[in-house]
Structure 1
């Protein structure tokens, strides 16, 4: 009977697989039909856009917008090589008006030079808003991340630093620096920093404009307080803290004040006094994998160093030939990955500098980015031993590789020091030294865009 069931299941699987193959062209056709419907809907919402532009197809989509390829109707008779092409960015209808105005202001005041995209036209009809910008043909970062040589990488990073220096000179944090937002045309060596939807002014004391309009109803009188969920977790220390005097809040809520450590410090729980304090609120906008430690620690005084960390992640991706470089799905995993790369002591030092307290179950010296890049480029390199496997004497207890191939960093050496006659994975040592300056966990010590352009790797010709 079991054999018959197995044969029946196999036949059903073959039928399903054959059905999928038959439906593949239909799926492609359905996708094209959906894009055509989106184009028609866009032209219907913005009649002025339909009068001046021909919208050809959809070329990109994000959380807050969709991008279409367009050209002028008056140039419809010209060959494609002589047409002027535009990227038409359609913002989602729920985007907050303040956010739209802020992004438009950044494009008008900052864009148009120094490898920063500008805006040619903005159209609005009711809740539909589009930005019309020059279109730069480009390839995906994954297609050339492992193909760039030293000269191309130097020009790429120099253009990115030039764009960030220009943006930061206006007191603006881009907050979403990543390869998909730094367009690169390899044939013509054209660059453009795009998408200022999450940009923020450093000099403003007010909170940045919200990404979306709030559609929630106001909280009714008598409804639970915002901290109700925290209380419902029952992580308090009532049973242990009976008949004890009240304890001052932990120091990380106010770094300027020197207060005694709380009794719940280092314990898997939250005492009543700490539960009564409002949680730290900070801007956490950005893409996972490119957020620096100060964003993950919810540090309120964030600066343009946020963009420099993201640029360092881009540089590390090219040096190692791996993208994405960090693959964390949440903030805790992101902190763990950074600690694995830079070392637990560096993260403890950074947490203290940002007025936070970091608890870790394990510690490590971190990885050497130079050795890591060289090992990833060597296809014959052995894999590390599993965590629970017994370790021989000639195997490193941290990276679990033979000591001759250990990729752990040496605490006695300076990571950001340049050795002119050395190279790793086909790149000069100065490129790795710059990567360490950009991936400095403390934002106050991180290199700026103007300083990066004077670094030996970018200053040399």
Structure 2
């Protein structure tokens, strides 16, 4: 079959062959989804008489989501979203997610639950279906007012769940569904949720206490360095003494974030604040730690008990206290993630941060918020960060306007614009140059004439700049960047809450 397929493809012209491959790939994907749907019907047979599953609309590490229609008693069909949790999910975790949806969901832009089906270790949660746009598809077409409404509704959802003591832990655009036409929103996926000490979700307390017990059981296991196994314990070239070998491990991170930073600037190590110094003073001479403030990790430090701290979340959206393994994490980590979403909306760049590991992610944060500021904030939650080079904090307005290409200081006044009543305004994402030949076709309007001359053939060449429909992006108020600054506060204790964000002056004329 494979040989005949290749032979047929070789006989086709390049364009036809490419189309054939795409069609074949699409058919293979569709057949794969069809098999998944059939398997779901087999695993949970109760679904057969209630739902007609149409397609798979989402897939993650712990679940798959399907679009289905339900035949109601009134005779009409209603669209539903079926979330099939993988069989290996812990029963307590599944029950906790359901409790979050039933208690906190159903209002204030938080997804609710309609039904739940279970057969053996297969669980399907049925939720209302919200048709929504991809964040990346709409990012650069949103007006500033739409962004304001988006953030307001996100904070409403966060205020709701934080009121019940739920820390979502995975706030990101794909977990905040957005229907642009209907202006509807829904915060989804509580699979990674945890509870605050005073949470009203009883099962979150149970899940958290079990997680802590599991973490303490692993204290005796030798911990890894920066998430990697250490293979050179017995082959180190650096010796503290004849009896103790110390591992020399150097890491220099390239922390370029898009075009913002291209230099290798950082080598960091997150440790308990003051623990290394204290250990160095209290240990005997043979066990003295000598790796503090260096790029080495000695065997004394490796032998210390591993600190247990939640790390769940999506890379690029994790708060500094998560990246540095701070054991005490609050609803403030959701507000940091909301700040990253707001940063993407204001700058027009998504994903804004993309790092392969926690230290690189922390270094990328420093390129925006500053290394000194990050180091000082870490001390407030008991962490010490060492940085080999000082990186200044960037002005958020300047950064976002440069990335989006809407520098308000360079905006042209109407008196500078040359108009022609025969032409309609031209649109552009950014100010760019193009060559136009006169006479111009209808539907375009010369906004700014830079050069105008006639060639040898009498043809007039006009080099113009197209004006952009800025959709309010040339009038972003200072309040927007003030709110962004408060969301990206490196200190979780002083970071703005969802309730405070809704009362911020940025939303002064939006109905609560």
Determine if the alignment matches structure 1 residue 65 to structure 2 residue 63: yes
Q: Secondary structure at the match of 2:126?
A: strand
**Partner Cα separation in structure 2 for residue 75 and residue 20 of structure 1:** 48
Q: Secondary structure at the match of 1:51?
A: coil
**Partner Cα separation in structure 2 for residue 133 and residue 321 of structure 1:** 31
1:239 CA drift (Å): 2.6
Count how many residue pairs are aligned between Structure 1 and Structure 2: 391
Q: Secondary structure at the match of 1:84?
A: strand
Kindly tell me: are residues 237 and 446 of structure 1, through their superposed partners in 2, closer, same or farther at Cα, counting changes over 3 Å?
farther
Determine if the alignment matches structure 1 residue 191 to structure 2 residue 185: yes
Identify which range, 124-133 or 424-433, moves more after superposition. Answer: 424-433
1:312 CA drift (Å): 0.3
What's the Cα RMSD here?
3.3
Identify which range, 364-373 or 262-271, moves more after superposition. Answer: 262-271
**Partner Cα separation in structure 2 for residue 363 and residue 257 of structure 1:** 22
Determine if the alignment matches structure 1 residue 448 to structure 2 residue 497: yes
**Partner Cα separation in structure 2 for residue 117 and residue 85 of structure 1:** 15
Structure with bigger strand share is: 2
Query: Which residue of structure 2 aligns with residue 6 of structure 1?
Result: none
**Normalized against structure 2, the TM-score is what?**
0.70
**Partner Cα separation in structure 1 for residue 390 and residue 303 of structure 2:** 32
Determine if the alignment matches structure 1 residue 306 to structure 2 residue 333: yes
Contact conserved, 1:236 with 1:271, CA < 8 A, in 2?
no
Kindly tell me: are residues 209 and 319 of structure 1, through their superposed partners in 2, closer, same or farther at Cα, counting changes over 3 Å?
farther
Query: Which residue of structure 2 aligns with residue 428 of structure 1?
Result: 477
Kindly tell me: are residues 375 and 98 of structure 1, through their superposed partners in 2, closer, same or farther at Cα, counting changes over 3 Å?
same
Query: Which residue of structure 1 aligns with residue 162 of structure 2?
Result: 168
Q: Secondary structure at the match of 1:158?
A: helix
Query: Which residue of structure 2 aligns with residue 318 of structure 1?
Result: 345
Contact conserved, 1:236 with 1:269, CA < 8 A, in 2?
no
Q: How does 1:88-167 map to 2 (within 5 A)?
A: 88-167=82-161
Q: Which runs of 4+ in 1 moved over 6 A?
A: 12-18, 204-207, 235-238, 254-258
Query: Which stretches in structure 2 are left out of the alignment for 5+ residues?
Result: 1-9, 198-203, 245-268, 281-288, 408-471
**Cα displacement string for residues 286-317 of structure 1 (whole angstroms, at most 9, x for unaligned residues):** 00000000000000000000000000001010
Contact conserved, 1:86 with 1:133, CA < 8 A, in 2?
yes
Determine if the alignment matches structure 1 residue 259 to structure 2 residue 317: no
**Partner Cα separation in structure 2 for residue 450 and residue 368 of structure 1:** 26
Contact conserved, 1:370 with 1:424, CA < 8 A, in 2?
no
**Partner Cα separation in structure 2 for residue 234 and residue 379 of structure 1:** 56
Kindly tell me: are residues 27 and 124 of structure 1, through their superposed partners in 2, closer, same or farther at Cα, counting changes over 3 Å?
same
Query: Which stretches in structure 1 are left out of the alignment for 5+ residues?
Result: 1-11, 245-249, 381-422
Q: Secondary structure at the match of 2:65?
A: strand
Contact conserved, 1:236 with 1:270, CA < 8 A, in 2?
no
Of 323, 336, 361, 1:296 maps to: 323
1:330 CA drift (Å): 1.5
Query: Which residue of structure 2 aligns with residue 4 of structure 1?
Result: none
Kindly tell me: are residues 193 and 235 of structure 1, through their superposed partners in 2, closer, same or farther at Cα, counting changes over 3 Å?
farther
Of 414, 421, 437, 2:486 maps to: 437
**Partner Cα separation in structure 1 for residue 11 and residue 208 of structure 2:** 53
**Partner Cα separation in structure 1 for residue 11 and residue 394 of structure 2:** 46
Q: Secondary structure at the match of 1:133?
A: strand
Of 375, 379, 391, 2:402 maps to: 375
Of 361, 364, 369, 1:342 maps to: 369
